[in-house]
Amino acid sequence: MAVFGITPDIDLNVMTPGQSLEGLTAALMLALQGVFEEQKPDVVLVQGDTTTAMTGALAGFYKGVRVCHVEAGLRTGDMQHPWPEEANRRIVGLLAWRHYTPTRPATENLLHEHVDPASILETGNPVVDALIFVRNRMKQDASLQARFQEKFSWLDGNKKMVLVTGHRRESFGGGFEAICTAIRDIAKTPDTVVVYPVHLNPKVREPVNRILGGVENVHLLEPLAYDEFIYMMDQSYVILTDSGGIQEEAPSFGKPVLIMRGTSERREAIDAGVAKLVGTDSGQIVAETTKLLQNADAYAKMAMVRNPFGDGTAADQIVKDILQNAAD
């Protein structure tokens, strides 16, 4: 939040090491109960499909507060992939008063679930707003550019950078070990370097450090600030990820994205040709990444600067809609 100059008025302070989903949900519900009773909000705005979003919507519903859902309507149709996010967003969808969808397919998903069309507004995704905000500031602020260049001075501009992120719960165990094995093999590709900011979850860090620690051409980093990560995306050649947000951000940079999941609720990027599902099979991840690194034609087909997730005005549309409808 510091990147955007935001300081929260209230910090629930519910996160603890090794926390279970049950423990997090219970802690959030009790903390939000107190906040809602004290603040008496007119509207609760929840974004995405996290456990926090689901619990925030449910807590608001219990208090009779109208729920607005940002990034509404995403679906894979498989309750186990992604888990628990598919259930979280469906629950929020049942409780929401206003649904702010990023794209037409997301809107159609809600219409198929018999959501009132009058409650849906197609805005694009505010993640694009945030990316444009930071990217413009990076271009205009020479001191910011200098800071990034100094912090990441070890980057070799003569090598193609494969940027990796991974954190999905459904991949923990064998799937995550296969991902790490693939990254180890990709790092052997000539003139290639792998950069991996490692998620803080111990179930991610353990296999990553065990399999990739000390591997030549693999740089394991601590999690990056948002603007730092945007800089790394801009410097990258190919992105390997299981993140939903990155699937929405990378097209703005014209970076091919290989999605290390079995399904994606963001089919728009796949349909646009800028992203491709590769699952968690080590062989497939290596094969598809190597093709992009070594085949210029294959790379050019995916490296299109075309973002189907919005034009950077989502936040303005959402604010306007809430102010128009909340008084009703």
CATH of the domain at 177: 3.40.50.2000
Proportion of the chain in helix, strand, coil states, percent, rounded to 5: 50, 15, 35
Least confident of 247-256, 274-283, 313-322: 247-256
DSSP code for 82: S
For 132-152, b/e burial (b = at least 16 CB within 10 A) is: bbbbeebeeeeeeeeebeeeb
Half-sphere exposure of 30 (CA within 13 A, CB side): 7
Same domain, 144 and 226: yes
From 66, 71, 228, 249, the catalytic residue: 71
- Mean pLDDT for 40-58 is 96
Q: Which of 81, 90, 147, 167 is catalytic?
A: 167
The single residue of 147, 199, 205, 219 carrying the catalytic annotation is: 199
Name the catalytic one among 75, 85, 86, 227: 85
| 199 counts as catalytic | yes
Q: Kindly tell me if the per-residue pLDDT of 248 is higher than 90.
A: no
- Per-residue pLDDT of 150-197, as tens digits, reads 999 998 888 999 999 987 766 676 778 999 999 999 999 999 999 999
As a whole number of angstroms, the distance between CA 185 and CA 180 comes to: 9
Domain match, 167 and 276 both: yes
Q: How many domains does the chain have?
A: 2
> What three-state secondary structure class fits 325?
helix
- 307 lies in a domain? no
Q: What is the pLDDT of residues 203-238, one digit of tens each?
A: 888 889 999 998 999 999 999 998 999 999 999 999
User: Does 100 share its domain with 146?
Assistant: no
Distances (CA, A) of 208 to 229, 288, 292: 19, 21, 23
Residue 306 appears among annotated catalytic residues = no
Instruction: Tell me, yes or no, whether 138 and 119 share the same domain.
Output: no
| φ, ψ dihedrals at 5, nearest 5° | 70, 30
pLDDT band at 70 (very low <50, low <70, confident <90, very high): very high
Q: Are 178 and 210 in contact (CB under 8 A)?
A: no
pLDDT at 124 over 70: yes
Catalytic residue among 49, 177, 242, 268: 49
Does 49 participate in catalysis according to the annotation?
yes
**Domain range spanning residue 26?**
20-124+313-325
Based on its alpha-carbon atoms, the radius of gyration of the chain, rounded to whole angstroms, reads 20
Q: Does 69 qualify as catalytic in the annotation?
A: no
**Domain check: are 232 and 271 in the same one?**
yes
| Helix and strand element counts for the chain (H, E) | 14, 10
What would the two tokens of residue 64 be? Answer: 């009779």
Per the prediction, the chain carries an average pLDDT of 91
In a domain, 241, yes or no: yes
174-180: Cβ within 8 A, 24+ apart: 175/280, 176/203, 176/204, 176/207, 176/208, 176/280, 177/207, 177/211, 178/280, 178/281, 178/282, 178/285, 179/260, 179/280, 179/282, 179/285, 180/207, 180/208, 180/210, 180/211, 180/212
Reply yes or no on whether 205 is catalytic.
Answer: no
Torsion of CA 5, 9, 15, 61, to 10 degrees: -120
Q: Which residue in 90, 169, 205, 219 is the catalytic one?
A: 169
- Is there a single domain that holds both residue 175 and residue 83? no
Is position 192 within any domain?
Answer: yes
* Residues 118, 136 within the same domain: no
CA nearest to 134, candidates 251, 244, 4, 255: 4
Residue 111 class from Cβ within 10 Å (0-12 exposed, 13-18 middle, 19+ buried)? Answer: middle
Same domain, residue pair 132 and 270: yes
User: Is residue 167 among the annotated active site residues?
Assistant: yes
What pLDDT score was predicted for residue 183? 94
Mean pLDDT confidence for 64-76: 96
Residues 264 and 170 in one domain: yes
* Residue 266 pLDDT greater than 80, yes or no: no
Q: Could you tell me if 110 and 132 lie in one domain?
A: no
Residues 6+ apart with CB under 8 A from 209: 198, 220
Q: Is 159 part of a structural domain of the chain?
A: yes
Are 229 and 183 part of one and the same domain? yes
pLDDT digits (tens, 9 = 90+) for 82-120: 889 999 999 999 999 999 999 999 999 999 999 999 999
